[in-house]
């Protein structure tokens, strides 16, 4: 479980970047919704403790319990359906008293661990129909349970992570080409169907978000309201921003033109109050964290370590891209948090745990000659 590690292999720069971007998030959250800032601070403290503990636990030991982690994932997602709290038409949270847990966030990390072990075990047979169909069968239950909350955006994000992991694991380019040849036309057909008023594939609010993205002006007062005002906020910050927790009357945040700004649209607060410099700082830190994970993957001692580090890096990288793209209206509104920055203890603690495992992979890296 515990091994002797060389301190020189500990990635202090990764830890510094993670804590730095979290602190920026805490400052922005305090400006957006001061009442929840103390909880985020507590989350960071708990996250740092979890990260450091996991950094010194052999990840190979954790992977021995991969099936238990998979079962726990599904049990938590089922409990959400049975005992979960409903908020804004979605049932995504479990009230555990000491924390309001969002199992779909934790599921991302647990599935990364499970499928890392699965891919390593069957790597030599990864491109066989039996192994691939087995992977699809194992991925289907948690993905369906997340989708049925309903939470389409997290379902898509989790599916992207699984695709990245199998790509890194060595899936054949022929299979990838075949999948793309099927998915691209299906995606086009899907989009042509969901924009129809009488479609039944998506919930009405999900369709409206897509329509608002396609025609922002027509939906500027309804479904496009958030993204329109987010763009205005980011643009109004100019180079240095209006300052954290300012009293500027023309502030989009102060005028409550963005609801729940401390969560999905925290990047708009950063753009408005910290300006272009602050926004670039956040993007640079998140990009740096993702790159650090990929670099760790390249020197991992085994396939599982390579896949876990790649998966965690993909989680930070792709989720950051999606959140920032939503805030800047490059894609439809999805409701994905900005890693380490958005308010939410489930997301924050999950990411810190992921960083802890990446640090352990780094500590056990292959010798470089």
Domain boundaries, the chain: 7-363
The distance in angstroms from the start CA to the end CA of the chain is 27
Residue with token string 């956040």: 282
Mean pLDDT of the region 188-194? 77
How many helices (H) and strands (E) the chain has is answered by 13, 3
Burial class (CB in 10 A: 0-12, 13-18, 19+), 50: middle
Prediction pTM value: 0.92
d(CA 18, CA 278): 16
More confident residue, 258 or 267: 267
pLDDT at 64 over 80: yes
Q: By three-state DSSP, how is residue 147 classified?
A: helix
Residues 3, 58 contacting (CB under 8 angstroms):
yes
d(CA 11, CA 232): 38
Q: Which of 137-141, 290-294, 365-369 has the lowest mean pLDDT?
A: 365-369
Which one-letter DSSP state was computed for residue 152?
Answer: H
pLDDT tens by residue, 221-252: 677 778 888 888 898 888 998 888 777 766 76
Could you tell me the two tokens for 93? 């949270």
* Share of residues in the chain with pLDDT > 90 (%): 56
State the chain's mean pLDDT as an integer: 88
More confident residue, 329 or 211: 329
Residues 161, 112 contacting (CB under 8 angstroms):
yes
Strand (E) or helix (H) holding 63: helix 59-63
Q: What is the CA radius of gyration of the chain?
A: 21
Residues 267, 333 contacting (CB under 8 angstroms):
no
Residue 89: per-residue pLDDT:
66
Neighbours of 302 (CB within 10 A): 16
pLDDT tens by residue, 92-151: 888 777 778 899 999 999 999 999 999 999 999 988 999 999 999 999 999 999 998 888
d(CA 362, CA 365): 5
Mean pLDDT of the region 44-56? 96
Residues 155, 143 contacting (CB under 8 angstroms):
yes
Residue 369: per-residue pLDDT:
42
Peptide bond into 85 cis (omega under 30): no
CA angle 98, 99, 104 (to 5 degrees): 155
pLDDT band at 291 (very low <50, low <70, confident <90, very high): very high
């Amino acid at each position: 479980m515990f091994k002797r590690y060389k301190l020189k292999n500990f990635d202090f720069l990764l830890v510094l970047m993670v804590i730095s971007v979290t602190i920026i998030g805490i400052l922005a959250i305090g400006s957006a919704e001061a009442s929840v800032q103390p909880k985020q601070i507590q989350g960071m403290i708990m996250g740092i403790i979890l990260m450091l503990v996991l950094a010194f636990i052999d990840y190979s030991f954790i992977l021995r319990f991969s099936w238990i982690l998979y079962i726990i994932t599904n049990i938590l997602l089922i409990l959400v359906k049975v005992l979960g709290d409903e908020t804004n038409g979605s049932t995504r949270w479990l009230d555990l008293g000491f924390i309001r847990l969002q199992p779909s966030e934790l599921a991302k990390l647990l599935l990364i661990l499970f499928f890392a072990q699965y891919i390593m075990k069957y790597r030599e047979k990864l491109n066989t129909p039996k192994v691939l169909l087995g992977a699809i069968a194992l991925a289907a239950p948690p993905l369906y349970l997340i989708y049925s909350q309903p939470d389409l955006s997290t379902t898509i994000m989790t599916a992207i992570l699984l695709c990245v992991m199998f790509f890194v694991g060595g899936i054949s380019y022929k299979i990838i080409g075949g999948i793309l040849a099927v998915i691209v036309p299906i995606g086009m057909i899907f989009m042509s169907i969901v924009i129809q008023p009488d479609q039944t594939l998506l919930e009405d609010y999900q369709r409206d978000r897509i329509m608002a993205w396609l025609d922002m002006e027509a939906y500027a007062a309804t479904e496009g309201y958030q993204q329109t005002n987010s763009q205005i906020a980011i643009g109004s910050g100019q180079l240095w921003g209006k300052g954290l927790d300012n009293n500027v009357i023309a502030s989009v945040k102060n005028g409550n033109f963005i609801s729940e700004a401390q969560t999905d649209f925290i990047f708009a607060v950063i753009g408005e109050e910290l300006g272009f410099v602050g926004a670039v700082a956040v993007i640079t830190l998140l990009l740096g964290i993702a790159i650090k994970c990929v670099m760790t993957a390249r020197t991992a001692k085994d396939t599982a370590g390579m896949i876990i580090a790649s998966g965690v890096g993909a989680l930070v990288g792709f989720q950051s891209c999606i959140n920032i793209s939503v805030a800047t209206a490059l894609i439809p509104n999805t409701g994905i948090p900005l890693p380490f920055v958005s308010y939410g203890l489930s997301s924050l603690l999950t990411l810190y745990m992921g960083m802890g495992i990446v640090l352990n992979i780094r500590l056990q890296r292959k010798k470089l000659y």
